[in-house]
Structure 1
Amino acid sequence: MKTVLTNKNISIRTRRRALECYIEPILMYGCEAWTISKQTQKKLEATEMWFLRRMLRISGTAKKTNDTVLEEAHTTRLLISKIRKRQATFFGHVMRREKLENLVTTGMLEGKRSRGKQREKLIEGLADWLKAGKSLEAIEATKDRKKWRTMIANAVEQGT
């Protein structure tokens, strides 16, 4: 795909579309189960910018800001919001099923927790992104599909 994505005879819009169709699905494989920490988010954003810089043939030593690169590509950062949207739709699906996946996803299994700082749960990250306050509010919102979809649409629209 390198030859297609870096070909200047093809419009930037078409090259971005090829990136979205062929590369991003591979990158986002299994993202519905990821917990995105700040460090992971930075890496994903850096990867997104790396793809755009490669498409525009901007070298790593060129002193161009990310904002300039985004303007040249006529786009904004979309990868994180796409991942969060996929996570939210998958989470809503799992919560409505009310089976074993539901218990595993919410982390409400019996047993002893390990020592040290506990890992962030998927629901906590989604509740922050959706601005649902507490994770229980997000779980309750999944029961009503229309309410859940509007919450997701609002979060995607805000671009957080």
Structure 2
Amino acid sequence: MKTVLTNKNISIRTRRRALECYIEPILMYGCEAWTISKQTQKKLEATEMWFLRRMMRISWTAKKTNDTVLEEAHTTRLLISKIRKRQATFFGYVMRREKLENLVTTGMLEGKRSRGKQREKLIEGLTDWLKAGKSLEAIEATKDRKKWRTMIANAVKQGT
């Protein structure tokens, strides 16, 4: 794909589309189950910018900011919002099923918690992204598909 993505004879729009169709699905494989920390988010954003810089043939030693590269490519950062949207869609599906996956995802299993700082749960990351306030509000919103889709659409529109 390197020859296609770096070919100057092909428009940037077509190269961007090829990136979205062939490379991003591989990158985002299994993203529905990820918990995205700040560090992971930075790495994903860096990867997205690396792809854009390679497509535009901009060296990492060139003194160009990420904003300048995004302007030249006529695009914005979309990878994190795509991942969050897929996570939210999957989470809604799991919550409506009300089976074992539901218990595992919400973390409402019986037993003792391990020592130390607890890992971030998927629900916590989604409630922050959706600005739902509490995780119970997000869980209740999944029961009503129309409301859940509206929440997801609003979060994607805000671009967080």
Q: TM-score, structure 1 length as denominator?
A: 1.00
Q: In the alignment, what sits opposite 1:98?
A: 98
Counterpart Cα distance in 2 of 1:115 and 1:46 = 33
Q: In the alignment, what sits opposite 2:52?
A: 52
Return 5+ residue gaps in structure 2 as ranges: none
Counterpart Cα distance in 2 of 1:27 and 1:40 = 13
Task: Name the SS for the 1:8 alignment partner.
Answer: coil
* Displacement after TM superposition at 1:112 (Å): 1.1
Give deviations 1:8-47, integer Å, cap 9, x for gaps: 0000000000000000000000000000000000000000
Counterpart Cα distance in 2 of 1:4 and 1:48 = 17
Report sequence identity in percent: 97
Q: In the alignment, what sits opposite 2:125?
A: 125
Task: Name the SS for the 1:116 alignment partner.
Answer: coil
* Displacement after TM superposition at 1:60 (Å): 1.1
* Displacement after TM superposition at 1:93 (Å): 0.2
Number of aligned residue pairs: 160
* Displacement after TM superposition at 1:152 (Å): 0.1
Moved runs in structure 1, 4+ residues, more than 4 A?
none
Give deviations 1:92-129, integer Å, cap 9, x for gaps: 00000000000000000111111110010000000000
Counterpart Cα distance in 1 of 2:84 and 2:94 = 15
* Displacement after TM superposition at 1:62 (Å): 0.4
Counterpart Cα distance in 2 of 1:127 and 1:58 = 37
1:149 matches 2:149: yes
How big is the alpha-carbon RMSD for the aligned residues of Structure 1 and Structure 2?
Answer: 0.3
Give deviations 1:123-148, integer Å, cap 9, x for gaps: 00000000000000000000000000
Counterpart Cα distance in 1 of 2:132 and 2:148 = 11
Counterpart Cα distance in 1 of 2:64 and 2:111 = 51
Give deviations 1:24-77, integer Å, cap 9, x for gaps: 000000000000000000000000000000000000100100000000000000
Counterpart Cα distance in 1 of 2:24 and 2:113 = 35
